[in-house]
Every structure is written in C-alpha cells, then in structure tokens.
A and B are shown apart, each in its own frame.
Chain A
C-alpha cells in the first residue's frame, strides 16, 4: 500500500507544481498583458491616483493633472486648458480609456516606461512619488490656430496638416468637427463623461475621428504632383507634352473631361509644367496611361502610399493607390480619382517630399520627453522615411508648383503670399456628394520651412477658393510670425 501512497503523493505534488507554474505564468509573464487589457477597469482607477506628466505645446501645458481630495485618497483630474484646439492630436485621458498622444505615449506620461526606470529607482530611494515624464510636442500653436480659424470660418468639416519638410516634425494637425476634452474626462462625474464619449463615438459626423491622420479621401488633382513626379523620374521634362483635349476618350469607354470644359493648350498637346499650373485633367490622365500602373504605383509608394507601418507615434491610416486596373481606371488615377485614397497627412508628405529635395522625412509628433528634473530622456532624431524623387525632379516640380500660385493662369493664386514664393497645387475631388476641396503647398519655395495639406470635406467649391486660403494663413503663421 505504501507504493500507491507514494505515487499518490507524487500526483498531489504534481498538482501543486501545476498551480505554481500557473501562478508564475499569470503573475510573472502574463501580468503586463492583463494589466493592459481593455476590460481591466482597475488600470484606469490606478492611474487616476498617480500624477501624470503634462503634455507641452509651445510654451504652455495643454494637458496636465491636478490633484483633488476624494475621501482620504488623492486623485488626479486631467485638464485640457486649450479646449478643442488640440483635442484630436493630444487626445484624451478618460476613466474608460485614452486616445491620441495620451494613448500612444501613455507609458512615458504615467512613468512606467523603461526609459524612466533609473529615474524611478532614484525616486524610490529618496522616497519621492513616481512622476510621469513631460512630453513636448512638435505642434506650433500659431499654425494650429491658423488651421482652426480657417476651417472654422468655412464652417465645414475637414482637416489641415502642416509639416516641417526638413525634419518631418508635425507643425499642425487639426480636424473638424471637434469636441471638448473636458466633457469626456471628468473624474468626479465619470459616468456622465463616459456617456458623452459614447454619444460622440456614435455621432454621424464622427467628431472623435482625427481626419488629419485617420480618414482617407480621394485626393483629386493634388495627386497630379505624384503623376508629374512619376513622369519626370521616367525621363520626361517639364516641357514634355501629352495630348490635352477638352474631353478624353478613355480606352475602355467612358470619357474624362477637363474641369474648365475646354482643351488645355488651345487644342495642341500641353506641356507637363503648364498642365500642373492650370490643373489639366486630360493631359495628366494621358501621362498616367503612358507611364502605366506599375510606374504610377511605385511613385505613389515612394511618397508613402500603401505603407501601413506609419506611427508618429499615433497610428495613421494607410493611403492607397489601387492595383489591377484597366486603362480607364488607370487614366482616372492620374488625376487622383478612381480608388486613390489619401490621408491629409499623406498629401502633406507629398508636398514636404518635394520641398525637401525629394526626400520624405518621417513625420513625428513628439519632440522630446523630460523627467521631473528636466533631464531629456527621449529626443526624436529626424529620420528619412523614403526617397520620393531625385533632387532635380524635386526642383522641377517646385517650379511647376510655384506657377500654380503665381502663374498667369495658375489655379491656386489665392494661396500666394506677397513677397514669398509659394509652391502649391489645388485639388477638387469628385465623390458622392459635393466635391472635396484640397490644397497642398510649401513655402518659401527655395528654402521651405513649412509644407501644408488642407482638405475641406464636401466643400463643393474649388481647392483654390476654399482650401488655399487656409493653407496660406497656416504658412503665414510661420513665415511672417
């Protein structure tokens, strides 16, 4: 009988070993995942009890935590003094979740990031409470306000993005409609805040959506810059021509007219430069047909289309150049129609790539992070994202785009700034409903400091009249103070 008792005892010990291994798995290896689980409400409550680092834009703190007494424990309320201005890009820290930079830089802000480990260790030794890092963003308040004021004046939905072409720093990212973070982040009235968030997330106008990064639109004529880039890289010159009739008969049937119901060069073939200046549809469609789908897509991807990996660190929606098309569709993609989709950020990257001698820099929102002693713990180094075009092509594209704002027949003259050369491109994209109106630009053309993309959703006008003035005021915010 002793034999079987021994075996039984081995079995019981095996049961205990299973338990030991399992608790080790849960508490040692799975703990992190469980703590971050979306179902885990305690993580928010825990975080409400810890001072969270502020988010800084320009000289001011646009998000910070203020302590208040709740019973005998201290809790922290997240405050957003600028209200709607930075709502999308900064994000919100709520009792039921977080978004924007509050989400993507959460670990730095709450102090659990590995890069703060040494700092935290010192705090433990000196008995200081753990504090989160200060996150400094790249946003320029002047440009951001210009974007807000411009879009507010129009009273339409849309988005505006500005980049520093030489570094990729995001200078502005504004999206309409907006919401007030204060309505959804109250800790004392957590239930009302959660209900408000729920209401916003279900609204048809999608006020929570950051259109600048996470919505794609047909780019329309602003995409002609990409088509022209492909042509130049393929060996064409600004003087190379394509037939530019008033209406182009598409290879598989159907027609493609010019926006201004007439031929582009009095019926003769039109030069590439002139086609960009006046935004000629038929010649650019012919360019797309001449270049072929593969060349077109290669060029689009060189600017960042078709790449899902972009995190800045907020996630960005993928922009798409379609594949497997027939000739008619291919011709339409030459003017940014058919299934071409781009985020405003993507089109800003196109402008910035041209501005930066053909190199697209990786966009980024966080300049640096500092700990409680103002020691820098994270500093973003600008990195090249892709080689879009050669510097010669970039120069040629720049000259063509300057003609858009300054040329006698330029389609985007309202984007011009007196005394400063502005390179731009208008776009009026067909879609269900009134047209979307685009403008992309950078300035000064010879030494660009800012690249911009503006889209007005269903504006129904033209890119030159609706979007260009907003882009202009954003550029002016940097260039003329």
Chain B
C-alpha cells in the first residue's frame, strides 16, 4: 500500500514534467529517492514499533502528502515560479514531520499518559493560540489573519498545535466530568411536556468559556475564522460523544449561529467572507478592493469548471490563475488538472482516513483514548470540510489547510502528529489480548 502511494506520487511528477517540459523531471531522483525512502522508512518503523496499528492509516497519509508535494512541485518547480515557495521546502518539512511522527509513535507507548495533564494541555493550548498576538516582529498578520509566529528561519502557526492540545485537554476533562455532564439534568417543561433537558450551569462553564474564547479571541482579535470554526465544531463533537445528548448540541449551536449573525455586523472581515460566499459574482464583490473581493473564490470555481469531469491532465491546466493556489485553493488545482474523478478520489482518501480514525476510537477500550481518537479524527474530517467546503462554496471561506496536502509547515507537522497519535492508539486497541500459554503439563503463566 505504501509502495503504491509512493508510485502514484512519482507517476504524478513524471506526468507533470512530460506535459509541461516534454522530458523526465530533473529532480526525480532526488525527490523520488527522498520521499520514497522516507515513506518506506516510516512504514518499516511502524512494522517494528506499532505492528498492530491500522494498516491503512500510513499509506493514506503518504498518498495525500505525496500528491501534495507533486502538485506543489508542479506549481513551483515545473513552472519556474519559485518565489512563492518550493516543493523541496515541503519535502524537508515532510521529512521533519515524519521524524516527529516516528518520535511520537516511539515515545508515547501509552497514550493514556496524556490524560494526566489536562490543565497543562489547556493552558498550553491557550498560550499557543495567543502567541501570535505578541507584538511584531514575533507575531505576524498574513492575509488579514493574525495567526503566525515568527521563529527566525520560518513562520509557524501555533494554532495548529493548539488544536491537538485542546483535544487532549477536552478528552481528559470530559472523561473526568462525564457523569456530571450527561446525567445531571434540569428539565424545561411547557405544561407536562418535556422540551429540553439541560445540564447544570456549573457544568456548562467550560462550554461557555470555549465558545466565548473561540469567537471573541480568534475572530475578534486575530481574524482567524477557520481555527475558531474548527475548534468549536470539534468541541461540540467531543461533547456529544462524551454525553450522547443532543441538548448539548442545541445549547452550542443556537448561540453559535446567533453569534455568527452578530459578527456579520460587527466584524467586517467576517461580513466580507459571507457576502462573497453568497454573491460571488455580484459586481461589488468580484471587483471589490483587494482582500475584500470574491476573485479567489470565483477563479477557483473557474479552475474547477475548466477541469470538468476528466480534468486537463497534470501539468495541462493553468492553476496559476487562482491567487494563492498553493494554500487552501490547492484543491482547485487538483480539480482543474485531475478533474471531478481525481477530486472525488482525493475526497474518498480523506474520508477513508477519517473513518479509520473513528474506527480506532470504536475499537479502543479506554474512554480517554476513545474521546481523544474521535476528536482527532473528527478534526481531520471537519477541517477537510471547512477548507474544501469554503473553496467550493458550501460554506463561507474561512481559511484552513487540507490535511497533509496543502503547503505549510505547521499544518503538515500537526497532521503527522495527529496521525502518530492515531497510529499509536490503533496499535494499542488492536493489539491481541495476552495469550494464555498452555504448555503440556506446565503451569499456566500469564504474560503481557
């Protein structure tokens, strides 16, 4: 499976090069050797250190990561347009990410340990989220969102790691408070009819805090709509998993939409996103001022339309028409060059990855691990939905990255960390129960 994913990546690069330059790609040996070698190493590593882990997780991630590198290589190297980034950069980041992946898988033998430090995780997450608010040149604003942190040689998006920390915190917190959240009940009645059972105010405090934090800090101060939406969605999903109570969803969604409605009038950044989503072709939107128009969205749609069902072939399209195509809109580049068929395949690969993650949650025994795995898997899925839904006009554009595919160091690294956690958890969940060894006439020994 891993070999297949590597072969696809290299095949994609060869096609790009043949289409664009009519020759074999010059860096094929370098890229192929490095990426293929790394992926194989990761595969072998897992064989040794997490042998029972879900066999699909790694190949799916390698495939997505490989396609991402191939597309970035096509966007930058094959066209000579290297001032916006480079595929080799992404390759180096992939290498670092895989190393961290291996480290997490190796050192975190028992993910339950993470449960011990929920509040450290929470504080860490909040600190990470707030870091970009530090004054320039440490904090940085890119494309209207203040979510970047300057660390010398490269820029980091600490929110990517905060997401993971928050999920771990929530999993720990909810496992501890699960009974209180799901059982203690205050009934609201109209006459004899029970309308809604709501938890105690005291137990809703973390919910209210999260909600307020996401909306006010992320949207109000940092203009980071994508992260706010992701965190809140993941939070609700985890609360639901923990309590199995729809009332929590109502309690979360009603103020959420109310807040969105208010934000529309208060935060101009948000209003622009909604306007351009609803009416991308309206005169004021398509040719509006820079940074407040629907040009990127519309051009992304045009790119996908150009691809049609079968696509123009890798290297045969003109994805450069879409501004910032290497980030969120890399999806439109795939849409153009691989067509509907290619994009559907990519969506299915992502869906499969998420589903394997959720399966891990199902298979796990410990509540904390279940919560954690479902939270991480949901995050991957919801993030995919938020990005691709934004690009294809299902929801307003918020700005986030397709897991493993899009350019960006922090996003790639955090995706691989999530994968590492899932791999480790699935390994522990699927590890066969200790065998009772019965030798002829020997004493029964239980080994672990």
- Residues of chain A touching chain B, judged by Cβ–Cβ distance below 8 Å, are 1-9, 11-13, 15-16, 18-20, 22-24, 26-28, 30-35, 37, 39-42, 45-46
Please state if A16 and B351 are interface contacts (CB–CB under 8 Å). yes
Please state if B358 and A5 are interface contacts (CB–CB under 8 Å). yes
A-B contact pairs, 24 of them (CB 8 A): A1-B370, A6-B362, A11-B237, A15-B381, A16-B348, A16-B381, A18-B389, A18-B394, A19-B389, A22-B389, A22-B392, A23-B340, A23-B343, A23-B392, A27-B307, A27-B308, A27-B339, A28-B309, A31-B305, A31-B306, A31-B308, A34-B301, A39-B286, A42-B318
Please state if A20 and B305 are interface contacts (CB–CB under 8 Å). no
Please state if B370 and A23 are interface contacts (CB–CB under 8 Å). no
Nearest chain B CB to A331 CB, angstrom units: 46
Please state if B374 and A5 are interface contacts (CB–CB under 8 Å). yes
Which A residues lie within 8 Å of B335 (CB)? 23, 26-27
Tell me if B298 counts as interface (CB < 8 A to partner A): yes
Nearest chain B CB to A280 CB, angstrom units: 53
Please state if A20 and B347 are interface contacts (CB–CB under 8 Å). yes
Please state if B244 and A4 are interface contacts (CB–CB under 8 Å). yes
In the assembled complex, the Cα of A474 lies from the Cα of B339 at a distance in Å of 54
In the assembled complex, the Cα of A46 lies from the Cα of B298 at a distance in Å of 17
Given contacts A16-B381, A26-B393, 9 further A-B contacts (CB under 8 A): A4-B240, A9-B358, A18-B385, A19-B347, A19-B385, A23-B347, A26-B305, A31-B308, A42-B303
Tell me if B241 counts as interface (CB < 8 A to partner A): yes
Tell me if B45 counts as interface (CB < 8 A to partner A): no
Which B residues lie within 8 Å of A37 (CB)? 281, 302
Contacts A15-B381, A23-B344 known; A42 to B306 CB distance under 8 Å?
Answer: yes
Please state if A12 and B309 are interface contacts (CB–CB under 8 Å). no
Please state if A40 and B302 are interface contacts (CB–CB under 8 Å). yes
Please state if A12 and B370 are interface contacts (CB–CB under 8 Å). no
Q: Which residue of chain A is the closest to B387 with respect to CB atoms?
A: A19
Please state if A16 and B374 are interface contacts (CB–CB under 8 Å). no
Which B residues lie within 8 Å of A28 (CB)? 308-309, 340
Contacts A19-B389, A28-B340, A39-B281 known; A8 to B374 CB distance under 8 Å?
Answer: yes
Please state if B302 and A19 are interface contacts (CB–CB under 8 Å). no
In the assembled complex, the Cα of A27 lies from the Cα of B302 at a distance in Å of 9
Chain B interface size, as a band, is 35 or more
Which B residues lie within 8 Å of A33 (CB)? 305
Tell me if B354 counts as interface (CB < 8 A to partner A): yes
Nearest chain B CB to A42 CB, angstrom units: 5
Q: Which residue of chain A is the closest to B21 with respect to CB atoms?
A: A72
**Which residue of the partner chain, among A1, A7, A42, contacts B302 with CB atoms under 8 Å?**
A42
**Which residue of the partner chain, among B299, B381, B389, B393, contacts A12 with CB atoms under 8 Å?**
B381
In the assembled complex, the Cα of A39 lies from the Cα of B301 at a distance in Å of 11
Q: Which residue of chain B is the closest to A34 with respect to CB atoms?
A: B305
Please state if B240 and A8 are interface contacts (CB–CB under 8 Å). yes
Which B residues lie within 8 Å of A12 (CB)? 351, 354-355, 358, 377-378, 381-382
Type the 1/0 row for B334-365, where 1 means its CB is closer than 8 Å to any CB of A. 01000110011001101100110010011000
Please state if B305 and A35 are interface contacts (CB–CB under 8 Å). yes
Contacts A1-B367, A4-B244, A13-B355 known; A19 to B394 CB distance under 8 Å?
Answer: yes
Q: Which residue of chain A is the closest to B386 with respect to CB atoms?
A: A15
Please state if B370 and A20 are interface contacts (CB–CB under 8 Å). no
Q: Which residue of chain B is the closest to A16 with respect to CB atoms?
A: B351
Q: Which residue of chain A is the closest to B375 with respect to CB atoms?
A: A8
Type the 1/0 row for B196-240, where 1 means its CB is closer than 8 Å to any CB of A. 000000000000000000000000000000000000000001001
Interface centre among A23, A31, A45 (most CB of B within 10 A): A23
**Which residue of the partner chain, among A7, A11, A26, contacts B392 with CB atoms under 8 Å?**
A26
Which A residues lie within 8 Å of B309 (CB)? 27-28, 31
Which B residues lie within 8 Å of A31 (CB)? 304-309
Contacts A8-B374, A15-B382, A20-B344 known; A27 to B304 CB distance under 8 Å?
Answer: yes
In the assembled complex, the Cα of A3 lies from the Cα of B350 at a distance in Å of 23
Nearest chain B CB to A250 CB, angstrom units: 48
**Which residue of the partner chain, among B242, B306, B351, contacts A35 with CB atoms under 8 Å?**
B306
Q: Which residue of chain A is the closest to B310 with respect to CB atoms?
A: A27
Which A residues lie within 8 Å of B304 (CB)? 23, 26-27, 31, 34
Contacts A3-B244, A23-B340 known; A30 to B305 CB distance under 8 Å?
Answer: yes
Please state if A35 and B302 are interface contacts (CB–CB under 8 Å). yes
Please state if A2 and B350 are interface contacts (CB–CB under 8 Å). no
Which A residues lie within 8 Å of B384 (CB)? 15-16, 19
Tell me if B46 counts as interface (CB < 8 A to partner A): no
Within 8 A of A (CB), among B319-347: 321, 335, 339-340, 343-344, 347
Please state if A34 and B302 are interface contacts (CB–CB under 8 Å). yes
Tell me if B376 counts as interface (CB < 8 A to partner A): no
In the assembled complex, the Cα of A1 lies from the Cα of B178 at a distance in Å of 11
In the assembled complex, the Cα of A2 lies from the Cα of B367 at a distance in Å of 10
Nearest chain A CB to B364 CB, angstrom units: 10
Tell me if B388 counts as interface (CB < 8 A to partner A): yes
Please state if A8 and B301 are interface contacts (CB–CB under 8 Å). no
In the assembled complex, the Cα of A398 lies from the Cα of B394 at a distance in Å of 65
Which B residues lie within 8 Å of A7 (CB)? 240
Please state if B241 and A5 are interface contacts (CB–CB under 8 Å). yes
Which B residues lie within 8 Å of A2 (CB)? 362
Which A residues lie within 8 Å of B244 (CB)? 1, 3-4
Nearest chain B CB to A45 CB, angstrom units: 7
Within 8 A of A (CB), among B42-95: none
Which A residues lie within 8 Å of B241 (CB)? 1, 4-5, 8
Q: Which residue of chain B is the closest to A25 with respect to CB atoms?
A: B392
Q: Which residue of chain B is the closest to A49 with respect to CB atoms?
A: B318
Which A residues lie within 8 Å of B301 (CB)? 26, 34
Which B residues lie within 8 Å of A1 (CB)? 241-242, 244, 367, 370-371
Interface centre among A8, A13, A46 (most CB of B within 10 A): A8
Which A residues lie within 8 Å of B344 (CB)? 20, 23-24
Q: Which 4 A-B pairs give the minimum distances between C-beta atoms? A: A34-B305, A27-B340, A31-B305, A12-B381
Which A residues lie within 8 Å of B347 (CB)? 16, 19-20, 23
In the assembled complex, the Cα of A39 lies from the Cα of B241 at a distance in Å of 45
Which B residues lie within 8 Å of A5 (CB)? 241, 358, 361-362, 370, 374
In the assembled complex, the Cα of A243 lies from the Cα of B81 at a distance in Å of 84
In the assembled complex, the Cα of A13 lies from the Cα of B359 at a distance in Å of 13
In the assembled complex, the Cα of A46 lies from the Cα of B305 at a distance in Å of 13
